[in-house]
Copies of this chain bind each other. A is one copy, B any other.
Amino acid sequence: MFSMLIMRSGGSSPEADLTARARIRDAALRRFATDGFGAPVRLVAADAGVSPALVIHHFGSKEGLRRACDEYVRTVIAEGKDPMYAASGAARRADLLAMLADVERFGVPTLYLLKAFQAGGDLARELIEDMVELTRSTLDDGVRAGTIRPSRDADARARYLVMLSVGSLVADQALHPSDPADPGAFVREYMSRSALPSAELFTEGLLIDRTMLDAVAATWPGLAPDPEPAPDPGLAPDPDPAPEPDPTPRTSDDPGTTP
């Protein structure tokens, strides 16, 4: 059935011994990662050194090609390796966030992922759910180990943190033009730019007094009256009922610019 996998091998180029199907998929992955999903099938075919008709012949339609790329990226994430580049063998853990950090090896899949997040779709939603779950359990481990502060709503926090990291990466990639020759460059630059402020924010926070947090926590559904996980009873929490009819206390990083 899959006899097409055995083909005349022994080519000269390092990619020549790949199936045409695999070559098309790789070209599409790269093209979609750099140009977005609006990239024409003809261009993908040209990248793979193949006629546009063959793309359709193998994948049925452009959407089929997209699905094949999605599936491939999913397996890359699950297996933690990227056979397209420098197959440095040993299987790593199925850690999505770590993969996003380890960009040197996973440049193209990472860029593809960001484009998928940008465009929405099923792959994005499923991966977000995976990342939320993984982040949730990682945070729980940290809380138990005493390295991470407990939260009043661990699920909401995990989801929020995933949206923060994924979203800022997506926005950064949309704003800065990425070099097609070095697909991992922008993530590297993003991290070198955000390493210090993120470390500051995540260990020290931003706000000094707790009135805003207390006000929001008071209106949060299904919460104990005062968990008070912080060992800092310095400022007396304002017991004022807070004239806030709805739970939308400005965007989070705009604390009190219109008081």
B-contacting residues of A (Cβ < 8 Å)?
38, 93, 95, 97-98, 100-101, 117-120, 124-125, 128, 135, 138, 142, 146-149, 151-153, 156-157, 159-172, 174-175, 177, 188, 191-210, 212-213, 216-217, 220, 223, 229-230, 247-258
Contacts and interface: CB of A to CB of B under 8 A. Distances in A.
Contacts of A258: 93, 95, 98
A200 B213 contact: yes
Contact of A98 (B195, B207, B254): B254
A82 B103 CA distance: 43
19 contacts: A95-B257, A97-B250, A98-B257, A118-B171, A119-B174, A147-B208, A147-B256, A159-B197, A160-B198, A164-B168, A165-B252, A167-B168, A191-B248, A192-B247, A195-B247, A202-B213, A202-B255, A204-B205, A204-B213
Contacts of A174: 117-120, 124, 170
Given A93-B258, A167-B169, A174-B124, A203 B205 contact: yes
B200 A157 contact: yes
Most buried by B among A95, A124, A160, A252: A252
A249 B195 contact: yes
B203 A213 contact: yes
Contacts of A199: 212-213, 216-217, 249, 252
B207 A147 contact: yes
A250 B193 CA distance: 13
Given A101-B250, A253-B97, A146 B188 contact: no
Main secondary structure of the interface of A (DSSP, over half): helix
Given A95-B258, A171-B171, A191-B248, 7 more contacts: A97-B253, A165-B253, A167-B171, A167-B172, A170-B170, A200-B213, A204-B205
A198 to B, nearest CB: 3
A248 B207 contact: no
A194 B252 contact: yes
Contacts of A191: 247-249, 251
A215 to B, nearest CB: 8
B148 A206 contact: yes
A152 B165 CA distance: 21
The 10 closest A-B pairs by CB, nearest first: A198-B252, A167-B171, A167-B167, A167-B168, A160-B197, A97-B254, A205-B205, A161-B253, A157-B197, A199-B213
